[in-house]
Amino acid sequence: MTPRIFPPKTLLLGLALVLLSTWVGSQPESEITRANQLYNQNQFQEAADSYERAIVGGRENGHLYFNLGNAYFRMGDVAGAVFNYARAQTLLPRDEDIEANLEYALRQTVDQLDGRKPHALDSVVFWVRDLNLKEHGTALLWINLAFWAALTVRLHHRTQIFQTAAKVLLALLVLALVSTGVRWQMESGRSFGVIVPKQIDVHSGWNTRTAALFQLHQGTLVSLAREKEQWVELELPDGKTGWTLMSNIAR
């Protein structure tokens, strides 16, 4: 891929070295260090392979996915870049660099489409996409502790203020439980995928003999619905649905 100059804050392709430094201690340091060195030496395929090995070994981290996305982008693999930026965003939902790189990579695709579908409860627990699962869990823990503390105090001091506090904390606890459950579902069951081939036909059913409804192109982000044998149903924001082979989707 021919090197290009990108506008400031449009595409950040530098390694997340500073952010990784606080995390790498619990990882196979030699593998991460080697991957970073390979990236800095413009050996992007080798760097990507090294990052992938760390991920396969259970070393899941948003900054690692971000670096992997950068390596794929440098190789000209837009689908790989979009997929890993989207994975990074799932774990680091408020990171502006990840958001900027994902948006830029999507603009390099034919369809220029982010087809990830909002969760049905997004309008109720609207903050669910702003916090990752760990942050939801931490908030749930503290609200739970506060609720039981207020309830205990209320048993000994039956004043209006403690009764009100217990009711408010109970409502917050229910919301925290719901939002944590939604976030867990988002992160545990991969709800999105990326088109890998240059172009695919999306069919009305789960075999090639059914009608081709529309086409999608490499790098397009789509929502995933049902699975049937070797096929998966795709959903787009405009309401279109259709089926394609699972092998056409990075997920």
* 35-62 residue pLDDT tens: 999 999 999 999 999 999 988 876 778 8
Contact yes or no for 68/84 (Cβ under 8 A)? yes
**Closest to 23 (Cα-Cα) out of 52, 62, 53:** 62
Q: Reduced to 3 states, what is the DSSP secondary structure of residue 12?
A: coil
Say if CB 67 and CB 39 are below 8 A apart.
yes
Q: Is the dihedral of CA 127, 16, 113, 189 positive or negative?
A: negative
Across-strand partners of 244? 232
pLDDT, residue 46, reads 96
CA-to-CA distance for 9 and 7, rounded, in angstroms?
A: 6
Please report, for the chain, the start and end positions of each structural domain, with discontinuous segments joined by +: 17-108, 133-188, 192-250
Per residue in 127-160, pLDDT (tens digit) is 666 677 777 788 888 888 888 888 888 777 777 8
Determine the average pLDDT of the residues in 192-221. 96
- Look at residues 97, 102, 100, 132 and name the one whose alpha carbon lies nearest to residue 115: 102
- 3-state DSSP call for residue 9? coil
What is the structure's pLDDT at 177? 82
Q: Supply the pLDDT for residue 109.
A: 96
Say if residues 63 and 92 touch (Cβ distance below 8 Å).
Answer: yes
> Is the pLDDT at 111 greater than 70, yes or no?
yes
Residue with tokens 């794929």: 72
Q: What CATH class does 192-250 carry?
A: mainly beta
On the question of a common fold for 17-108 and 192-250, the answer reads no
- Give this prediction's pTM: 0.75
DSSP-derived letter for residue 197 is: S
The span from the CA of 94 to the CA of 226, in Å, is 29
CATH node for 17-108: 1.25.40.10
**Dihedral-angle region of residue 76 (phi above 0 means left; psi in -120 to 50 means alpha; beta otherwise):** left
